[in-house]
Structure 1
Amino acid sequence: MAMDRRCTLLTRALLLAVAALALRLIYAAFLAAIALYPPLPAAVLPSKAYLHSALATPDAWRTRHWRNAVDYHSTLLAAHLADGILSPTSRAVCLGALQEALAMRELGVSAAVAVARKRSPPLAVAGNDRRLPFPDSSVDFVFASRALDSSKRPADLAAEAARILKPEGHLVVLTSSAADAFSLRALQALLPSLRLLRSRQINGPDDSTLRELVFQKIQDSTHDPVNKCTIGDHKLQLLTHAEPLIQEEPRKPWITLKRNMKNIKYLPTLADISFKRNYVYVDVGARGYGSSIGSWFRKQYPKQNHTFQVFAIEADPAFHSEYAAKKAVTLLPYAAWVKNDTLSFEINADPGKEDEAKAHGRGMGRIRPMAGKMSGEVRSVPAFDFAEWLKRTVSEQDYVVMKMDVEGTEFDLIPRLFDTGAICLIDELFLECHYNRWQKCCPGERSPKYQNTYDECLELFSSLRESGVLVHQWW
């Protein structure tokens, strides 16, 4: 009995000793963790947005998934430490996962912090795409690992990243959406105060292919808009994949040109359009909703899951009431022109179609200044400076698709778009060019409505493409 009691006491003593040793080890680990993750400088942290946790390394941080992600980003970031754009004293912000901030801290960048929807001490502060919780020009280094790809508002997030960067500070972006010249230029347009230093292709953590882009904020980022513009190589490269223009005048244009619509290479099938602030469709000479907005653009145009703002520009009042029930369409009940003016609108001039046009109010006639003789019914319509409206409505950061069917005034509007620089705002143009085409109703006779020839139309299309505009022959 005495022997059993002594064994019990000895067992209890051993257990207490083991427990004491375990507590000492836990305390030592805690002190080591505090040393590994020191407090962030106050200049980097938003007030009351960051609190330290007693647990420096939560259990989740020890999982294989976490460790693999940390190691992957450590490899990438070590290269930036080596080339000097990141340093141990950098005030660094990560726009992706917490693993990126942990990778930076393990590399010795003690002031690294991530931004997440909810704060997660000690690595993350709370923020969102529209507002990062840091003062202007307060950060040396911003790392965006797939953050722009996953964001629902990449334009806002890009603007915020540029805002918080100091002059000469660096932004590093990992993306799968800038593989082509068009999408890369779109991303650059979202960062007008930054210049692209270099770009390279890398392997992603999941064996995917990513592009790493390094930007630097420039000292003087003021932008002086001018009328003239230069269409970049990113659009010229797209034209190498565009469908060829029809060189020979069609004898039956109502068949040839309509059939050619099946050959059109839409821009979203050639490039990624993700890095745009807004998505806009402008139908110039829209006629009724079902003419092209409802029948073609809504149903057939590839939008890459983006929602488009739609503008219908139509001068013929016969169609205006139709748009009253279309809440998703903004109607501009005017004629697109080269200046604010009053124009004459000829209802019809096609032989054999006068009664049909008058009955249905079809916008089939010419629009021209109030001068000269016209053969059809004429009305006065208000007109507006279309190029200036376009410049006020959209920017280079927007994705703009335009269909233009303006009954001959394209020979006035297109030069005006070039003169004002508004042509650079159009990403894709579907243009119906009006000329004295052969008539379906009257074999061997040309339409008397237009004086321009097919060669002049072909020259217009060719000049647009030579200037870098992705234009398609429309019917």
Structure 2
Amino acid sequence: MDSVVKPNFARGFIVRLLLFGVFILLLRFVYVVTLRGGSCASGDFCFFSSSAEVLSLSGGISGGGAAYVRFPDGSTVSPELGKLWTSREWRKSVEFYSSLFQDLVVEDFLSPTAKTLCIESVSGHEVLALKEIGVADSIGISKKNFPPLVLSGDIFHQPFGNNTFDFVFSGNILDLTRRPADLAGELARVLKPKGILVLITASAGDLYSLHSLKVLFASCTMVRSREINSPDSSKFTREIVFRKEEASQILPHKGNEMVNDNPFIVGNSASKCPITDHKLQLLHSAEPLLEEEPLKPWLTLKKNIQNIKYLPSLVDMSFKQRYVYIDVGARSYGSSIGSWFRKQYPKQNKTFEIYAIEADQAFHAEYVSKKGINYLPFAAWIRNESISFEVSHDHDQKSDEKGSGMGRIKAAGASSSGPSAKNLHMIQGFDFAEWLKNTVTEKDFVVVKMDVEGTEFDLVPRLFETGAICLVDELFLECHYNRWQRCCPGKRSPKYQNTYGQCIHLFSSLRENGVLVHQWW
């Protein structure tokens, strides 16, 4: 009998002891919640010891057992939000940002006392993560209001004064917006001098894209760039840290260093673009130049166009402000704009502004009727002046639909003679290099196709001389030389004095100076 009573007594004692321990813990919990306002001090019992406390209550809230979040200032959110913020997926995202921000704290890029802003923080994961690691003065802004973490507002016209925040964080919104330059300007505006801007992007996987991003933040210096593990491990993700410079420390762009090492530049000095790593990477990827003169140049384009490494097929263009195509010597719409650029050139779903420059009056009416084309009925030249312009049939190629041939600028004092001469008249020429500098910027993606019947030996040096060449991302250049004629085997064209070797010299000179140029025919 005694052997039966003793085990029951022992079990009962253990149960009572456990119940007493649970009672003590519950009593301590009630004390923290009711008397201390739910704020956790050192040594207090809490389910969560972060600055934003998630508490589970058994009563007093509809839908008993619902969770809510209490912040140090005593404010709380609804049970619905509390349930959302304690869900597995939500906590996974918050923990990702918490880990990222803690690294920035360790590296002294982020301080617990910093006034911080999160851009397009739709659900507030980033803001809550900042609060949880102790950065209390944190707020987000997005189109959709998400109190108490996120304000509703226009991220392109933020309701904050200049130089407001010590730390600004932006997720992948720069990858998604069609106005990256406008957004970049607004981020820099609200950031204090010496403040830190951190960007998360999936679009800076190549040097060109990274360079384009840096250009958008002219008032900032990139201090770090690294790949990170994103919640979606299948996607490339980069974290980039910028520091905003004080106004007196912002240096002018160094893309116009004056040198004179280009053999096609005439004068005492010329502007040279810096050959940066992103340009070298592109030049190494470009198709090789055809060093030997083709015997049938009219067939070369069809073969060579298959080998061209188009710039958009090599890099990400997401961080450009505008996308511009300039056809210099456009001839008819179907000659290159309609037949090649709009149908074949890879555009990464970007909308391009198109400029057609053509002095031949035979094409004026056609372009007037074309929508979406900015037409310049003048001759691209090295000065703003009236010049002699000759329109002639080219027997090496099929004439255009309207029967006109190729127009070319005649040098001062030169006479129009020979069987190809058709008409010589005065037209208005304009300084193409200066026009280019006034039309596009380094923030734009600029593609130029140039077919100017020999004037390239004037225009290219002028582009270098003025620094306008630095604005061209990709150049398709037809170089005109005294090539073999299709109509007359064994005879070279009398129209041009330059040789194929001089053309190769021109192409090589462009590439040696960092210009991605392709041979066009």
Q: TM-score when scaled to structure 2?
A: 0.80
Task: Please say if residues 347 and 358 of structure 1, whose CA atoms lie closer than 8 Å, have aligned partners that are also in contact.
Answer: no
Pick closer, same or farther for the CA change 1:305–1:429 going to 2, 3 Å: same
- After TM superposition, give the deviation of residue 212 of structure 1 in Å: 1.1
Q: How does 1:194-273 map to 2 (within 5 A)?
A: 194-207=220-233, 208-219=235-246, 220-221=249-250, 223=252, 227=256, 228=271, 229-273=273-317
Aligned-partner SS, 1:171: strand
**Deviations 1:242-300 (Å, cap 9, x if unpaired)?**
11100101111111243111110100110001000000000000111111111111111
Residue of structure 2 in register with 1:279 after alignment: 323
Based on CA coordinates, which of the two structures has the bigger radius of gyration?
Answer: 2
Correspondence 1:247-396 to 2 at 5 A? 247-348=291-392, 350=394, 360-362=403-405, 364-375=406-417, 376=421, 377-396=423-442
Q: Secondary structure of the residue that 2:305 maps to in structure 1? A: helix
CA contact (8 A) 2:119 2:170 kept: yes
In structure 2, which of residues 114, 126, 148 is the aligned counterpart of residue 90 of structure 1?
114
Deviation at residue 55 of structure 1 after TM alignment: 3.7
Is 1:435–2:485 an aligned residue pair?
A: no
Deviation at 1:31, TM superposition (A): 5.1
- CA displacement at 1:365 relative to structure 2: 3.2
- Closer, same or farther in 2 for the Cα pair 1:224/1:75, shift >3 Å? closer
Q: 1:385 to 1:211 in 2, by over 3 A?
A: same
SS of the equivalent of 1:203 reads: coil
How far apart in 1 are the matches of 2:340 and 2:393?
26
**AA at the equivalent of 1:232:** T
CA contact (8 A) 1:342 1:369 kept: no
**Contact 1:346–1:365 at 8 Å: present in 2 too?**
yes
Counterpart in the other structure of 2:17: none
Output the CA distance in 2 between the equivalents of 1:96 and 1:389. Answer: 38
- SS at the partner of 1:366? strand
Aligned length: 441
Taking a change above 3 Å as real, the CA distance of residues 349 and 318 of structure 1, as seen in their structure-2 partners, is closer
Counterpart of 1:240 in 2: which secondary structure?
Answer: helix
CA distance in structure 2 between the aligned counterparts of 1:28 and 1:125, rounded to whole angstroms: 32
Q: Within 2, Cα distance between the matches of 1:77 and 1:212?
A: 11
Q: Deviations over 1:149-185 (max 9, x none)?
A: 1223222111111111111111111111101000000
Q: 2:89 aligns with which of 65, 79, 87?
A: 65
Q: After superposing the two structures, state which structure 1 stretch, 232-241 or 455-464, moved more.
A: 232-241
Q: Say whether residues 1:185 and 2:211 are aligned partners.
A: yes
**Structure 1 residue 458 and structure 2 residue 485: aligned?**
no
Checking the alignment, whether the CA contact within 8 Å between 2:255 and 2:470 is kept in structure 1 is no
- CA-CA distance at 1:116 after TM superposition: 0.8
Structure 1 unmatched ranges of 5 or more:
1-21, 40-51
Q: In the superposition, relative to structure 1, how do residues 53 and 285 fare at CA in structure 2: closer, same or farther (>3 Å)?
A: farther
| Structure 2 Cα separation of the partners of residues 369 and 210 of structure 1 | 55
SS of the residue aligned with 2:415?
A: coil
* In structure 2, C-alpha distance between the alignment counterparts of 1:106 and 1:54, rounded to whole Å: 15
2:191 and 2:244 in contact (8 A); partners too:
yes
Question: Which one-letter code corresponds to 2:241 in the other structure?
Answer: V
TM value normalised by structure 1 = 0.87
Letter paired with 1:69: S
CA, structure 1 residues 224+263, in 2 after alignment: closer, same or farther (shift >3 Å)? closer
Whole-Å separation in 1 of the counterparts to 2:305 and 2:339: 14
- 2:462 match: 416
Q: CA deviation at 1:132?
A: 2.2
- 1:82-110 deviation line (CA, Å, top 9, x unaligned): 11110111011111431011100101001
Moved more, 146-155 or 240-249: 146-155
Post-superposition shift, 1:63?
1.9
Q: Could you say which residue in structure 1 is the equivalent of 2:100? A: 76
Residue 130 of structure 1 aligns with an amino acid whose one-letter code is: F
Task: Answer yes or no: is the 8 Å Cα contact 1:339–1:383 preserved in 2.
Answer: yes
Give the deviation of 1:127 after TM superposition: 2.4
Give the match for residue 404 of structure 1.
450
d(CA) in 2 for partners of 1:353, 1:432? 14
Distance (whole Å) between structure 2 residues aligned to residue 78 and residue 71 of structure 1: 10
Q: Look up the SS of the partner of 1:265 in the other structure.
A: coil
Q: CA deviation at 1:27?
A: 7.0
Task: Indicate conservation of the 8 Å contact 1:126/1:133, yes or no.
Answer: no
Relative to structure 1, the CA distance from residue 173 to residue 181 in structure 2 (aligned partners, 3 Å threshold; closer, same or farther) is: same
Letter in 2 for 1:209: F
Q: Which of residues 86, 97, 120 is equivalent to 2:146? A: 120
Asked if the contact 2:70/2:76 (under 8 Å) is kept, the reply is no
Checking the alignment, whether the CA contact within 8 Å between 2:332 and 2:400 is kept in structure 1 is no
Greater relative CO (CA pairs within 8 A, separation 6+) = 1
Q: Which moved more, 1:131-140 or 1:28-37?
A: 28-37
Give the alignment's Cα RMSD to 1 decimal: 2.6
What amino acid is aligned across from residue 363 of structure 2 in structure 1?
Answer: F
C-alpha separation in 1, matches of 2:115 and 2:237: 25
CA contact (8 A) 2:141 2:155 kept: no
Quote the Cα distance in structure 2 between the aligned partners of 1:378 and 1:410: 20
Instruction: State the SS of the aligned residue for 1:204.
Output: coil
- Asked if the contact 1:350–1:447 (Cα under 8 Å) also holds between the matched residues in 2, the reply is no
SS of the residue corresponding to residue 222 of structure 2 reads strand
SS at structure 2 position matched to 1:235:
helix
- SS of match in other structure, 1:108: coil
Q: For residues 83 and 163 of structure 1, what CA distance do their matches in structure 2 show? A: 24
1:174 aligns with 2:224: no
Between structures 1 and 2, the one with greater helix share: 1
**Structure 1 residues 168-206: Cα deviation after superposition (integer angstroms, max 9, x where no partner):** 111111111101000000001111111111111111111
- One-letter amino acid of the structure 2 residue matched with residue 267 of structure 1: L
Over 3 Å counting, the alpha-carbon distance change for 1:231 and 1:343 in structure 2 is: farther
Does residue 1:103 correspond to 2:129, yes or no?
yes
Could you say what secondary structure the match of 1:346 adopts?
strand
